[in-house]
A and B are shown apart, each in its own frame.
Chain A
Amino acid sequence: MRNEIRFSGFGGQGIILSAVILGRAAVMYDNKFAVQTQVYGPEARGGASMSQVVIDDDQILYPKVAVPDIYVIMSQEGFEKYGASAQVSAVMLIDSTLVHSRPKCRCIEIPATGQAKASLKVIVANIVMLGALVAATHVVSEESLKKAILDSVPKGTEDLNLKAMQLGLELGKQS
């Protein structure tokens, strides 16, 4: 089973980190294979940022994402540049606080930035989206996601990030 996941948003939201955490969860704790790649262009700073993860039960040969089957979109510009062309069979999680367009594929609306701002901190909106992604698609297990988040976030922010993950899991399960 091969999943190809694309994350997009604007520079500073933690789009790249989200992809790294997801890949790490798959490799380190789910005993799967993963490859994470990202767009390194200067537009990544402030403009639309994009990162992709391939997760597979078997060794990954071709490392690039051809046609993503799962999208996590956190900005309008990110949607237009990296989400609008999604194939109909894909699943797209959208930060509905920030993205007003909707794709042709199945769309899961997660008010991640709004809810993070209201009850946690806006900086963890990406972790809310990760929680929702895992609840909705099960590309990695919840336990593996939790461990990978704890590996990756700065010391002193563990509780905040785990609350964000929990919020995302709940929002994802409701959807």
Chain B
Amino acid sequence: MTRIEFWQGNIACAEGALAAGCTFFGGYPITPSTEVAEHMAAKLPKRGGAFIQMEDEIAGIASIIGASWTGARAMTATSGPGFSLMMENIGFAIMTETPCVVVNVQRGGPSTGQPTMSAQGDMLQVRFGSHGDIAIIALCPATVQEMFELTVKAFNLADKYRVPVFLMADETIGHMREKIIVPDTVERVERKPFVAGTPAFRVTDPDNIPGFPAFGTGQHVHVTGLTHDERGYPCATNPNLHMALVKRLVDKIENARDEMADYDVINPDAGQVFVAYGAPVRTVMQVMHDKKDTNIGFLRIRTVWPFPEKALAEFKNAKRFIIPEMNLGQISREIERHVCVPVRSIPKLGGELHTPEELVAVLEEKA
């Protein structure tokens, strides 16, 4: 069964989290993500969950890491300035293989920038912002429906891969209200079960993912951000151990990139190909609808990290890739790494979504 609602994107995100079984939210409200926290604060206690407004975003992500180790599905939501504060503990969650969901409803940066305006300026920060060699998963919704669905998916990916998963939304989608079809139930992927009595971080499967020994289940688990052996004990001077650990943490994500890839290919024989994620998807779809031209292709990406590079190869006749982003071309650079034809970035700052006219002007420019 399903029902129709007229929801704001941020509410759809919170409802997606509740549907996914999230029982803990810790965070610090910040525009334009505040409605996620407000809605979780209103709903979670009535469902036996917990909501804590922490003193800042550093504590916010710390609280969800702790909650996750009890076995709970835990989430925080923020925007640029809070996201910057979270970087260190994001690395801690990666190193300790702690499943958690971080929502970033992006606004104009740097610094406090444009609190009420839309942007996609944190797309490289999410991938590379925390120090050391890391791999994460980042999803970008382009509809209120996807705010719900990708939040559910984020929890499943976090639990499956034991990694922080980021819902990289933007103010445009977070704040707009539109029609959404809400399912009664959603798919749930559980954490890999732990074999009692074995070392806490022992990996036996080719997927590089260890079983999860939740606190309170009788295991003695040591959790540290220091380089650790399979028991979880610090061992920070053994070069081979460090290499093997970091390689495994990166490989468990990067090797599964095809499995996680989530994109649509429209008009694969086209010569001019748009690539978009998040709010600019809406403008590209409008242009595709208005032009009805099979020589215009579109790669619509939902899983931006790990980047689905194979999707680009599906456009075999592509002469040019056109990338509208609400930043100065962050994902354009990633695309340039993978293709041999020109990449035309359409950067836009200031907080407003690209208009259809702006994209059409680029389509019509002489090569």
Contact = CB atoms under 8 A, between A and B. Distances in A.
- Interface range, A side: 20 to 34
Contacts of B289: 61
A49 B106 CA distance: 23
- Greatest chain A CB density within 10 A among B4, B6, B171, B175 is at B6
A37 interface: yes
B286 A61 contact: yes
Given A41-B116, A61-B289, A66-B355, A27 B176 contact: no
Interface string A126-161: 000000000000000000000000000000000000
Nearest to B288: A61
A86 interface: no
B175 A34 contact: no
Nearest to A51: B177
Nearest to B177: A36
Contacts of B171: 40
Contacts of A20: 6, 177
Secondary structure of the B contact surface, majority rule? mixed
Nearest to A62: B286
Contact of A40 (B5, B32, B282, B353): B32
B89 interface: no
Given A24-B6, A28-B6, A62 B282 contact: yes
A35 B116 contact: no
Nearest to B180: A27
A127 to B, nearest CB: 18
B172 interface: yes
A40 B31 contact: yes
Interface in A57-90: 60-64, 66
A61 B282 contact: yes
A46 B282 CA distance: 32
16 contacts: A28-B4, A28-B5, A35-B176, A36-B178, A37-B176, A40-B171, A42-B116, A61-B282, A62-B286, A62-B353, A62-B355, A63-B176, A63-B178, A63-B353, A64-B352, A66-B355
Given A23-B178, A37-B175, A63-B353, 10 more contacts: A24-B6, A33-B179, A40-B31, A60-B178, A61-B283, A62-B355, A62-B356, A63-B172, A63-B176, A66-B355
Interface of B: 4-6, 31-32, 116, 171-172, 175-179, 282-283, 285-286, 289, 352-353, 355-356
